[in-house]
Structure 1
Amino acid sequence: MNLNDLKKAWENLSKTVNLSPIRTEKQYKKMVQLADMLSDVIASSKKHSLLDLFELVSELIRAYEHEHFPVKDAKPQDILAFLMQEHHLKQSDLPEVGNQSVISQILAGARQLNVRQINALAKRFKVSAGVFFERA
């Protein structure tokens, strides 16, 4: 690994995207916008070349939200259940996530959301994908 090459690549990337911990609401909004664009491009692909970048951006968003918008003990399935209730949706209303059986397993906590499902839910409910990642 050549550190000079790495430094140049990082400087070029930094000019386009500030891939660093989010410290301000303005940075947060830009990062959410980037995550939305990446989600649209990646769609349901499990091997897209930008998938790792999407996951890094989602983690930065998650860290900022955890610090600034703490949600005590909210699990992804609880958030999904809340959003479904707020939007008056049944399990069968989310075919982009899976069939009714899959949704039932997710809501019961017997199955975790995968990246494709997280992207679909974030897009549908217009929320950050980070809200659907399991918190430690």
Structure 2
Amino acid sequence: MTVQTLEKKVRLPPFAEDNAIYTGLIRRYPPRPIETKQMHKDYSLLAGRLMALLEDELPASDRKGIERYLKVMIPLIRAFETEISPIGKAEPEDVLRFLMEQQELKEVDLAKELGGQPVVSYILNGKRRLTRDQIKRLSSRFHVSEASFYPSGV
């Protein structure tokens, strides 16, 4: 079936899209159900990089395009994660490690926010717990709920 045949059968005109960033992301990285670990890795990396861009000063239309794309992709990423390995409650250091991997961060990148590189290392190795202040800073940086960084059972 051709696209023209499909359009005739659907009997709807194409939806207008006026956001160039959103349209560009859709064309370059089309949303689709994630079926392999490699696809998951690629789309998760893309989502992490786009979220990092949202921390920068962006024109409102660029921000809107990125946010709209993430609203489409994040549920697809989560659906794959739930299907492959239903998640129990993760420990704070595992959550932090995961978020760091997604945004390609090293310990030194969080040193200023957490009180130095050795502190980051202690936290990631489970030798030190996150403080409330650190949790607030991490929650803000990664755009996740503070609850993500509290230990199981708290």
Q: Distance in 2 between matches of 1:55 and 1:12?
A: 15
Q: Deviations over 1:54-78 (max 9, x none)?
A: 2322211110000002124x3xxx6
Partner residue in 1 for 2:143: 119
Instruction: Please state whether the residue corresponding to 2:86 is helix, strand or coil.
Output: coil
Q: Deviations over 1:94-116 (max 9, x none)?
A: 34246xxxxxxxxxxxxxxxxx5
Cα distance change on mapping 1:3 and 1:96 into 2, 3 Å: farther
Aligned residue-pair number: 99
Q: Are positions 1:21 and 2:33 aligned together?
A: yes
Q: Are positions 1:38 and 2:38 aligned together?
A: no
Counterpart AA for 1:5: P
Q: Distance in 2 between matches of 1:19 and 1:41?
A: 19
Question: What CA RMSD, in Å, does the superposition of the two structures yield over aligned residues?
Answer: 4.0
Contact 2:32/2:76 (8 A) holds in 1: yes
> Could you say which structure has the larger radius of gyration?
2
Which structure has the higher relative contact order (CA within 8 Å, separation 6+)?
1
Q: Distance in 1 between matches of 2:24 and 2:68?
A: 18
Larger displacement relative to structure 2 (88-97 or 15-24): 88-97
Q: Aligned match of 2:84 in 63, 68, 88?
A: 68
Partner residue in 2 for 1:93: 134
Instruction: Please state whether the residue corresponding to 2:137 is helix, strand or coil.
Output: coil
Cα distance change on mapping 1:120 and 1:66 into 2, 3 Å: closer
Q: Which runs of 5+ in 2 are unaligned?
A: 1-10, 97-122, 149-154
Q: Deviations over 1:9-29 (max 9, x none)?
A: 9x9755411301101112111
Q: Quick one: percent identity of the two aligned structures? A: 16
